[in-house]
Amino acid sequence: MSLARTINHIRNGGFAKYWRDMQYIGDAKWGRMVGLDSNGNAYWENYEEQPGRQRWVDFKQPDYDSTQIEPMWHAWLSHTRAEPPSTDPMVTKFEKPWQIPAYENFTGTRGAYRPYNTTKPKLYAWEPKIAARHG
């Protein structure tokens, strides 16, 4: 990042935002806030950035995961949709009774999905057989 770009970001967002962005995403970005989702994540846009890096998300939780992004916002971030869901009339016009709340991915944690298993294991642990001593 050039010195002029760094000074511009500090001037626009302040030193606290610059420091936070450098700690969380490794780059100081400033742009127009496009909207918020139901998880509290903020979505930003700046067309002065490099192509492909013009849209980004500022996660509300410090321990962030990509499963915290809603599908419509993900489509906007990946440039699949031109309009953000906050201003797109197709998204805001219709109710979505089929949409369930988005949940995080709990793989590798205690909350991970584990189906009930009814099959016998193919491998068995070795169990020693102790013979009686004669003597």
Q: Where are the domains of the chain?
A: 31-93
Q: 61 pLDDT band (50/70/90 cuts)?
A: confident
For the chain, the average pLDDT equals 81
What does pTM read for this prediction?
0.66
pLDDT in tens, 35-60: 998 888 899 898 877 777 788 888 88
Contact 46, 30 (CB under 8 A): yes
What tokens does 86 get?
């906050």
> Which amino acid is residue 128, in one-letter code?
P
Beta bridge partners of 42: 36, 58
The arithmetic mean of pLDDT across residues 18-25, rounded, is 81
106, two tokens: 């709990």
Q: How far apart are the first and last CA of the chain?
A: 84
Check whether 83 has a pLDDT greater than 60. Answer: yes
| Coil, helix or strand at residue 3 | helix
CA–CA separation, 81 vs 88, rounded Å?
A: 9
Average pLDDT over residues 113-130: 84
